[in-house]
Each structure stands twice: as C-alpha cells, then as structure tokens.
Amino acid sequence: MSRKSWHLPRRTFLQGFGASLALPFLECMGADTKTLARPKRFCGIYFPYGVSLPKKKNEEAKWQWFPNTVGRDFQFNESLKCLESLRKHVSILGGLSHPNGRKIGGHDTADIFLTAAELKGGQLKNSVSLDQLLAAKLGDETRFRSLSLSVDGGVGEATRSSTLSFSRSGQPVPALHNPRLVYNRLFGKEDRTLAAKRQELENSDHMLDLVLEHSKSVRRKLGKQDQEKFDEYLQSVRQIEQRVERSEKWLEIPKPEVDIAGLHLDADDKTPGELIKTMFDLMFLAIQTDSTRFLTYQMGNMNGATSVATKFPSLLGFGKSQHSLAHGWNKPGGAEALGKWDRFRAEQLAYFLQRLQDTPENDGTLLDQTMVLYGSSNSTTHNNTNYPLVLAGGDRLGLNHGGYHRFGSDVPLSNLFVTMMNRLGAPAAKFVDSTGEMTELVS
Amino acid sequence: MTFRSLSLLLFSFLVLAGASPGAIDFKTQVLPILESHCFKCHGEKKQKGDLRLDTLSVDLLKDRAAAETWHDVKDALNLADMPPEKEEPLTRAELKILTGWINEKIESVIEAQKSTGGRVVLRRLNRLEYQNTMTDLLGIEMDYSKNFPPEALSEDGFRNNGSTLQMSDLQLEYYLEAARKGLAKAIVSGPKPETYNLEFEKTVKDKNRGSQILDKDQQFIVKLKDYPEEGEVLLRAKVRAKFAEGRGYPQLRGAIGYRADTQAPRLFFDPIDVTSEDWQIFEMRGRIENFPLPSKTQSKFPGLLIWLDNAYAEGRDKPLKARGRGKKQKKNEGPLTYPQIEVASLEFTGPVFDQWPPSHHTKILFLSKAKGLAYADSVLKHFMSKAFRRPVTADEVSPYSNFFQAARPKMASFEEAIRETLAMVLISPDFLYLVEPSGASKRPTTDWELASRLSYFLWSTMPDSQLFGLARDGKLSDPKVLRQQVDRMINDKRSWNLVEQFSDQWLDVGAIQRVAINPNYYPKFDEALKTSMRGETIHFFGEIFYKNLSALTILDSDFTMLDEPLAKHYGLTGPKGSTFERVSLKPTDHRGGVLTHGSILLGNSTGEDSHPVKRAVWIRERLLDDPPADPPPDVPNLDTTNPDFAKLSVRDQLAEHRKEVSCNDCHRGIDPWGIPLENFGADGLWRDQILRKKTKGKGMTKLPVLPAATLPDGSEVIGIATLKKYLIEEKDEQFAKALTSKLFTYALGRRLELVDKKALRDLTTKFIGDGYRIKNLIHLVVASESFQSK
C-alpha cells in the first residue's frame, strides 16, 4: 500500500498522541497489514418512490428493475446493467419490506427504511436506525462516529424526514446537504495553533457542563409540555459534550489531505448531476481516509411538496418531476421514462461502488469491507412491499454475492439487518421485527 | 395531516373518501356492519388472528391499545385484506361507514395527543430569527446561520412552529461556532489598525474581459497586493449608465475574492440599479473576512481580486461559457441594444470604523470605573439581560462569572476570556429559546415576554430598547401603549420581515423553487424570473398591508407589483429596474389578484403544463383553509388501457377519471377549483392553446383551453375572471377565516386547536366588520387572550 499524504509518519503520530489508542485505529497509518483487523463499514443509500416494474409481456419490459430470473445466472435488465462489471460483489434482493411499513401511507415510509419502526401515535415516534446503532457500538475508532447526508438536509418532519438516520432515542439525526460543508467538516483545515484549539475545546467542555447544570434549573420552571420539548436541548448538550471529547482526542492528528480536483463543492439543487456525484465522491473520500465507517445518503425524500429533489429528473433531461415519473410508470411510455431515471440513479451507485472496488486496502479493496445497501421503501409509487434493493460489498465480511434472491412476504427486511450486524462485529439476535438471519446471503 | 404530499396527483384516486362531516353513530351504523361481517371470525366464538372485535373498546381516547387495534382494522379494510375473499365483501357504503368511523375516532386521538392545551409551545429561534437577533445583539452583519441544517415547514406551512423546530447536537455545534465568530468581530483587541485607501481608474486586462465599459460579459477588475484581512471595507464606484432603447436600467454588481486552493468562488454584493447617464458614486459595504480571501502563502499568490460587472437581468444566470467568454467587444455602431455601465474609478477603503474601539465593541465592553472581576460581572449582567430579553439576577450571572474566572488565567487577554464567556451566554437555552416559565394553569404573560412575542411576530428579531424600556416600566401591557407600539412597529422597516415571512409561508411561494421549467416547452424562460415572481407576491402583499387595503384585494386587484424582467415577461410596461413598482392593470391583461401571479401558477405546475389538481389543492388549502383529505395507502392507478388517454387535455383526463365512482368522491371537490386557471401555462402566461408533446414521434400537438367547471356547490365558472368573482362574492367569509387562521397561527408559533375555535371566530367576525384590514387584524391578534397568556 502506498503512503498517502495523509498517512502521518508513525513516529510523529505516536509522540503527539500518547499511548491511549486502541490498536485497530493505527492501521490506517500503514501499520502491519497482516496483524491488524481492517475497518468494517456500512453505508445506506435511499431513493424515493420506488422503481419501474412493467410486466413481462409489456413492450417496455426491459425497463423492469428486477432481473427476470432468480439465482446466480440472472440477467440484468436495462436499469441495473451498469452493475454488470461489479456482478460478483452485488446481490439483488426482491420481495422484502418492513412489515410495519405496510400499515402506513404510501408516502410515509422513507423514515423507516433503516429503522423498521412502527411510527406511532400523533408524535410518529421512530426508533434507532441501523447506521446509528452500528455507530453507537462500533464508531469509536474514527474521527466521526457517523456521517448522514441527504439532498434536502436537516431533519425534515416525521413521515417526510430528510434524513435516514435516527438516534437511539428515535430522534432524527440532521443530515448535511451542502458539499462544501461536508468537505469542511471532514477535511477542512483551520489556520489556528494547536494550543488555541485545545484551549477552545477545553472551554467548550467547561461551558457545556455549566450550561447543562443551569439548564436543569430552567427545565424545572417549565410546564410539562415544554419540558418534553426542552429535553431535546438537554440531549443535544450531552451529545455535543461527547463530540467535544472526541475532538480533543483527535486534536493532534491533522485531518487527512485529499485531492479536491473533480469535486463540485458548490453544486446545489440547481445542478443535481454534479451534486449527487460530489456527495458520492465525498462518501468515498470519507471511507478512504477512514474518517467514518457508518454513512447514510438520502437521494431525495418523499416530500414531493417540499423536497428540492422533486425537480431533479426535469433538470437532468428526464422530462418530468420525480413524483410524476413515478406515477406514470404504468402508462404508455412511462415504464421507459421511469426506467431511464432508475438507470441514472443506479449509475451513480455503480460509480461509487467501482471507486471503492478500485481502491486497494491492505490485501483487499475498500469495497470488500464495506456493506452498501441501496434501495427504496416503495416498489412502485405508493406500494410498501417488494422493495427494490441492491446489497453490495462486504465480501470479506462474510457476504456471498452474485445472485438475485426473492423472498416471501413472511421475511421481514430486518432479517437482513441482523445478518449484516452479525458480520459487522455488532452481534444481534434481533432488530425490531426480525425473525432470523438471511442464510442465502452468507458464505 | 394536510394535503401536502400531493399524493393526489392526477392518476391516484381515493377509493375511500375521508370521514364525512356528520359524526357516524356506532350503535346504529357501525355495529350492524361488524355484526354481519366481522364477528363470525373475530367475536365470541372465534378470535382469528387473536383479534376479537365485539369486546374491543370503542372509547379510543381512553383506551390507546384499542385505538391501535382499530387502526390495524382500518388498514386491513383499506388494503382489502379483510373480509377474506371467500366471505361476502363489504358494500361501498358499508366500507365508507366503517372506515369513516375509525378515521373520525383516530383523528380525535391524534388531536388529543398533539394538543398543546391551547398554550404557546416552548420554541427556539428559527434560522432567520437567530440571524436577525445576532445581528441586532452584536451589531455585526454576517451570515451567522450559513451552516445551520435546513428547517422543515410545519404541517400548516410555517417556519416558526415550536413543535416542528427541533434541536440537535449539530445545530448546537453551529450555534457555538457562530457565536465565537461573531464575538471575535464584535469585540476588538489591539491598537487602531491602519486603514488602506486605494483608487483605481483602469481595469486589469484579463483575457479581454477587463473593460471600462460593462456590457453582458465584461468586467472591471482590480488586483490588490496588500489589503486588510479583517474589518468592514467600503467600495466606491464612480459609474454612469448608457441606456438601451426598450431596456431597463443596467445593474452594477461588485464582487470580492476567490480562493484557488479550495475553489471558493467570489462573493457578490447585491446589484444596484444605475438609473442615470450622469456620473454617480455607488457604495458597497461588507466585512472583508466574509469574502473568500486568497491564501498569501499560496505559490502563485494572485492578490485580492475585486470585480465590477453588469448584472442586468437578461441572461444573468446563464453560465459564462454560454454567454461567449472573452469575445472582443464589437465597435459601438448604431444604437445600443443592451444597457451598459461605464466605470470611471473604483475606490477601496478599509477597514472603516466609526471610532476606535468601534461602537459595537463599546456597547458590550462599556467604559466603567469597575475593575477586574467586578467589571466582568457588570459586562455579563448587561449582555445577558439583552440576550435573554429580560432582567437577570446575580444568581443567574454566577455560573458565567465562574466560567470567566476559570478561563481568564488560561487566556491571553481579558477580551479573549470575555468573548468565550459571552459565547456561553449565546448557547444558553434562555437565549436560543423563548423561555416562558409556566405552571399547571394559564397565566398572563409578563411585559418582558410580551415584548419578545411582539418583536418576533412583527419583526422576526429581538425587542429594541423602546420595547425593553416599556417592559421595564411595566407599561407595555397597557392596551393603549400596546396599540401605539404595534403601530410603531408596523411603521418600522423591520416589519418587512413579517410581510416577507408570512406571505411567503402562507402562500407557499417557495413552491417555485421545487419546479423546474422544461425548456422544450418554454425556451425563453429565464430561471432568474423566479426571483422576480417571488418578489411580485411578497410586494403585492406588502402593498395591501402597508396601505391597509381590503384583504379581498388579494383575490382580485386592478394592480400588481412588478420589476422590469417580470413586467417584460407578462408583456406589461412600466418598471425599468429591479425595484418593484405598482403597475395598473386593465381587464384585458388577464392579471390581478394572487391567482394570476407567476409564483403561484408556476409553483403549482409540472414545469411543462399547468397542474389543475395542484392549483386546486393550493386554493383549498391556502385561500379557503379547507385542504382535501390525504389518500389512503395503496391508492389504485387509473386503468390506462384507453390508448387515447394521453391525447386528452388534462381537463378531459380529469373528467375521465371522475367517471370512476371511487375517484369522483374526492375529486369532484378538488378538480373544479383548478380548471378555471387552465388559461395560464406553467410559465404563468396567458394561453389559448395547450402544447402537448406527441406520444409518438416528435413535435407538439395543440389542445384547446377549456376553462369551464362546476364547483362543488353547483356554481358554474368559466375561467379566471368568474372564479375570482365567485371567490369574492361567495367565499369572502371563508377566505377571511382562512387568512385570520393563518395569521393567528403565525403569531402564536403553534398550530390552532379546537380550543381556539371561539377565538378564531371572534377575530374573523371583527376582521370582516373592519373591512378586511390586515393591520387591524394584527391589533386584534395582539390583543387576544391567546397572544397574551402562557
């Protein structure tokens, strides 16, 4: 493995940091490749409104998203053909869904893609998402515990959330949507002295302690309803305290240097092609530099009425808005129109997977240590069953790829989550409504 | 849930209409259906699927578990999972009663769960309120909220709803960062800095783009090798316009900076209309550190670049390449076809300050005889009471004072330590939230709380010194004083925040940013027009508000507010620049009233064509406060076997699917509201024909516009003119109630509930009695018990 500019000389690094480090972490510094465990990662990618599913006899049948036959000898149809060169590293999954999602409105399911929760009551309370659960258990070794991205950014509102990530208390984790902001967080440099930064972190730590203390007395004066709202604040203070502590640990290790050529850091919703590609590039860089191991990206949410992603297909020359394409799939010409949009999205995925596959890590590649789950929580427009799903990567983590599997409606998607957790080093007997593992996917 | 998912797009239909308005009686209506269809398998004898319905509680409010079960029952019915195939199916009427009853019950449970008990909810400052508050508090203009996560609109469409506004660690992290950055500027240290003053009369030649005359592509460019890196700078440009026949004013736009290593692009000042052919001097001010300054250590340090260009609307959003970069300017022959700017000189001065230390510094670190810790404490107390918008006690100061004492020995200067301490004030909940202590029962607001409620309602920022003064004297809640203050606040320019925020959110003007115009249908449409369209609606509301015209003018008017690009787009004349002006309308212009605004028409279109359903939903939700119900899960698609379907106009397609009984239930109450607007295309322009892409082959077909519709009450309307007439004559009271309800919601920062019904009715009655004056309505809202109690 060649030494990248962000690989510090080991000596300097150790001097600066002291000996308190866990070993696995050192491996990104080019330590002995044989003796150290490689990072295990998960990346969840979501798109809204499902895909094109024309019937076999339809003249537009080649735009059927799923392959025509199951097993290892399946042929990709048009939309996923771009995955052909990665065939050995992907599985296509059909028939799966979250049983809790089947009970709710067709446009209400994005929130539970990675949580499997039953959104209950007026508050529509969610529960922890797969990435956040993994990050909580395994996220200690990187500068960032996790990274949540989306086209719209922030948290949105329940059933139309603009993030895939939910904390252990079921609170939405705000997603970043501006490429430059993501870049600055991951790789941006500050020209201040180490001592000044350290002092600032120490101050932050202290002021957060005091603010938390003081806030408890504020809470007591509030009415019951306001107290519940206020708890969001208290929780945020506690979380940011942890983040400050983490920053203190990482203070002396400079952020990695990356090449920004080809990144469109000022892309926004007016230039969706550049925006989506740059977000995938940033996720790749985050993985390559081991800045984080748990990532999510929501390529548009279900809020047709407020999401900026609604117009993306129109801007990119696919003729209609995202929602209209999805609604039109069973009208003449509609399967092809939506199919082309399906293909465009799959090409973005293929690009990302290929970059991971082309980048060596020790004696393997980045991809074979990264499980990527790509898909939607609708099969077509409003249908909450038969999610279109691609599972990629993680070959070295025990996943067995290369097939198209169809499952019955008795198999909850959570079974996949359990299977993944068990191979990512966070053993779990159950995830929400799971009933077991998916042995089909395990080598 | 409001109808915002737009799930009800053209071809999704409601099999089951939502609950009908009259309450459904369980014993006489629902029970017989359950008895004949359900109890056999889910009753006393059998409990298939572990479900027993005959003993299941029907008091959903008390029994939450039962509510969940009924919800499952409803889903099973909606998805046609039940009754099973071998059993006799429910008739449509039976299904409607059953699901209607469950819907009603569940709605009441949701209502109870969401209820605020009719009290204002603890609410944090939203993005704009934070931005304005920080600017007022620190006296420094900068983009404080740039990195904040975007905020969602509440269910009723507003950005200041306490329940919707969430807090997160990321948000808090950026609050702290913004506070530190702002304080680093507000509190200066060190001696008075040297002021640079440089004047340039000639542009740098940059691949032929540098020019004294600014046309479409040319720029006046200067390079500064040495410049200040901090503080406010002033650009003074001496320029004159050269007008072109039939075109508006050229627009002078300044820009500073560019950073090659991070590819940070230059930042622009707002463009200024150059309205005279005589020499004039224009000033642009900004803090230099807000611009992307080049790194002096870079290998090829280019110096700091400052640009002037001509941002005249035409083509200003097109990429430079498309505009023909670097072309040599043609010799000026004949009359100008594009308005130009001639630059005589550009002067750069900076940093500029009113005094040293600047007044934003001395407002925080005031002169005092106190020394050391005593001084720090008095600084803290003064700053905290402004930041918390109320007096603070010595006890409250003490944690901050403790922090200061701990930090001071570790920091290099007093200023540094005090900056950090004040940053702590700015992440405190008392600053970030409108904290209003409360107990079990409602109480009147204190004068301090009232001051904040008023200022965030009318100004979207903190109270000014006059409001604080009246609160301190306990006079603000005096009705006479309060009236005077509301009038004063409306006359203050900060009330533009209310105009802009309220009209934008109520009318969902933001919708235009979510629709992309398809250039195949509208090749001449310029994206920059969207900004002008937004401006029209907001300035229109502003004109009606400030002149205190009848709010019915919103529905129909003989004027509108336009800038030059939009006037041109509409084919009207008058405005010459980027300032919005009142333009009179004739009936033949087909304009007047918000329904004819490009913002509304484009925002509720597909970008290729009108979207009658979207437009209809907009009218019902925004103007009549009567949004249609959400569709149930898995709405079926229309059978599209009819090969001619795609050839039909949208109106005929809608008529086609209303033939389906299941669709008609809801859509007969929706579609007719949108059809009269069919004369307006997606670009907001009048049309007599509808362009439609041929399903096979290239080219377009043309369909006639048929704007006739029968409204739910049986009234016939043909086109926009009769629709407007109908709204004003028949729906004036409903519109008044809608506007009142939206303004009340915005004022309280929470959703309205059942308990507010009476207050809403009273306000509406008085609003109508007063001649629909929005200013008067504001006085009424402020005087209401809801606004003045916690």
Q: Which residue range(s) make up the domain with A4?
A: 1-37
Distance CA(B180)–CA(B139), nearest Å, equals: 14
Question: How close is the nearest chain A Cα to the Cα of B723, in Å?
Answer: 25
HEC string of B727-772 equals HHHHCHHHHHHHHHHHHHHHHHCCCCCHHHHHHHHHHHHHHHHCCC
Do A155 and A194 sit in the same domain of this protein?
no
On whether the CB atoms of residues B739 and B712 are closer than 8 A, the answer is no
Q: Where does the pLDDT of residue B632 fall: very low under 50, low under 70, confident under 90, or very high at 90 and above?
A: low
Nearest residue on chain A to B617, alpha-carbon basis: A305
Tokens of B416: 């540094």
For chains A and B, CB pairs below 8 A equal 235
**Residue range B212-266, pLDDT digits in tens:** 999 888 899 999 988 998 899 999 999 999 999 888 899 999 999 887 777 778 8
Q: Average pLDDT of chain B? A: 87
Do A52 and A75 sit in the same domain of this protein?
yes
- Say if residue B474's pLDDT is above 60: yes
Which of A227, A253, A279 is the endpoint of a domain?
A253
Q: Where does the pLDDT of residue B323 fall: very low under 50, low under 70, confident under 90, or very high at 90 and above?
A: very low
Asked if A223's CB is within 8 angstroms of B149's CB, the reply is: no
Tell me which amino acid residue B781 is. V
Do A220 and A341 sit in the same domain of this protein?
no
Tokens of A39: 């990072």
- Say if residue B6's pLDDT is above 50: no
Sort out which chain B residues have CB atoms less than 8 A from A270's CB and list them.
527
DSSP SS3 for B590: coil
Do A406 and A374 sit in the same domain of this protein?
yes
Show Cβ contacts of residue B33 under 8 Å, excluding neighbours closer than 6 positions: B90, B94, B97, B98
Q: What is the mean pLDDT of residues B185-209?
A: 89
Tokens of B236: 């003074």
Work out the percent of chain A whose per-residue pLDDT is above 70: 90
- Say if residue B594's pLDDT is above 60: yes
- Does the beta carbon of B25 lie under 8 angstroms from any beta carbon of chain A? no
For residue B10, the model assigns a pLDDT of: 32
Rg over CA atoms, chain A: 22
**Residue range A95-112, pLDDT digits in tens:** 999 999 887 776 778 899
Do A325 and A200 sit in the same domain of this protein?
no
Q: Where does the pLDDT of residue B386 fall: very low under 50, low under 70, confident under 90, or very high at 90 and above?
A: very high
Work out the percent of chain B whose per-residue pLDDT is above 70: 88
Sort out which chain B residues have CB atoms less than 8 A from A307's CB and list them.
514
Which of A6-10, A45-49, B259-263 bottoms out in mean pLDDT, i.e. has the lowest? A6-10
Torsion sign, CA atoms B31, B35, B39, B43 = positive
HEC string of B387-444 equals HHCCCCCHHHHHHHHHHHHHHHHHCCCHHHHHHHHHHHHCCCHHHHEECCCCCCCCCE
Question: How close is the nearest chain B Cα to the Cα of A331, in Å?
Answer: 6
For residue B113, the model assigns a pLDDT of: 64
> How many independent structural domains does chain A possess?
3
Asked if B440's CB is within 8 angstroms of A223's CB, the reply is: yes
Do A24 and A68 sit in the same domain of this protein?
no
Per the model's pLDDT, the better-predicted residue between B644 and A177 turns out to be A177
Distance CA(B242)–CA(B336), nearest Å, equals: 8
Which CATH number do you get for residue A366? 3.40.720
- Say if residue B608's pLDDT is above 70: yes
Asked if A243's CB is within 8 angstroms of B634's CB, the reply is: no
Which of B379-393, B550-564, B684-698 bottoms out in mean pLDDT, i.e. has the lowest? B684-698
Partner residue opposite A333 with nearest CB, options B12, B112, B695: B695
Do A60 and A145 sit in the same domain of this protein?
yes
Q: Average pLDDT of chain A? A: 88
ipTM score for this prediction: 0.86
Q: What is the mean pLDDT of residues B185-201?
A: 94
On whether the CB atoms of residues B168 and A173 are closer than 8 A, the answer is yes
Partner residue opposite B630 with nearest CB, options A105, A122, A319: A105
Which of A230, A253, A276 is the endpoint of a domain?
A253
Sort out which chain B residues have CB atoms less than 8 A from A237's CB and list them.
169, 172
For residue B325, the model assigns a pLDDT of: 40
Do A113 and A182 sit in the same domain of this protein?
yes
How far apart are the two ends of chain B, measured CA to CA in Å? 26
Which of A10-24, A298-312, A391-405, B536-550 bottoms out in mean pLDDT, i.e. has the lowest? A10-24
| Residue for token pair 């019904």 | B757
Do A232 and A277 sit in the same domain of this protein?
no
| Bridge partner list, A294 | A42
Per the model's pLDDT, the better-predicted residue between B753 and B605 turns out to be B605
Nearest residue on chain A to B61, alpha-carbon basis: A121
* Chain B residues 372-411 within an 8 A CB cutoff of chain A: 396, 399-400, 402-403, 406-407, 410-411
Q: Where does the pLDDT of residue B628 fall: very low under 50, low under 70, confident under 90, or very high at 90 and above?
A: confident
**Residue range A239-286, pLDDT digits in tens:** 999 999 999 999 999 999 998 888 999 999 999 999 999 999 999 999
Work out the percent of chain B whose per-residue pLDDT is above 90: 60
Which of A253, A271, A300 is the endpoint of a domain?
A253
Do A314 and A368 sit in the same domain of this protein?
yes
For residue A174, the model assigns a pLDDT of: 95
Longest dimension (CA), chain B: 98
Which of A18-22, A406-410, B160-164, B741-745 bottoms out in mean pLDDT, i.e. has the lowest? A18-22
Q: CA angle, corner B363, sides to B362 and B369, nearest 5?
A: 60
Sort out which chain A residues have CB atoms less than 8 A from B407's CB and list them.
203, 206
For residue B4, the model assigns a pLDDT of: 37
Partner residue opposite B516 with nearest CB, options A181, A223, A315: A315
For residue A121, the model assigns a pLDDT of: 60
Q: Where does the pLDDT of residue A5 fall: very low under 50, low under 70, confident under 90, or very high at 90 and above?
A: very low
For residue A344, the model assigns a pLDDT of: 97
For residue A103, the model assigns a pLDDT of: 74
**Residue range B284-316, pLDDT digits in tens:** 999 998 898 887 766 566 788 999 999 886 544
Tell me which amino acid residue B787 is. F
Tokens of B483: 């009236």
Do A18 and A111 sit in the same domain of this protein?
no
Q: Which domains does chain B carry? A: 26-114 (no CATH), 196-350 (2.60.120.260), 516-628+669-730 (no CATH)
Do A178 and A288 sit in the same domain of this protein?
yes
Which of B172-181, B206-215, B320-329, B348-357 bottoms out in mean pLDDT, i.e. has the lowest? B320-329
- Say if residue B8's pLDDT is above 60: no
For residue A375, the model assigns a pLDDT of: 97
For residue B116, the model assigns a pLDDT of: 67
Q: What is the DSSP string of B520-552?
A: TT-TT--TTHHHHHHHHHHHHHHHHHHTT-BGG
For residue B77, the model assigns a pLDDT of: 80
**Residue range B522-573, pLDDT digits in tens:** 988 988 899 999 999 999 999 999 999 999 999 999 999 999 999 999 999 9
Q: Where does the pLDDT of residue B332 fall: very low under 50, low under 70, confident under 90, or very high at 90 and above?
A: low
* Chain B residues 666-695 within an 8 A CB cutoff of chain A: 695
Nearest to A110 by CA among A331, A319, A307: A307
Torsion sign, CA atoms B469, B474, B480, B482 = positive
Asked if B122's CB is within 8 angstroms of A154's CB, the reply is: no
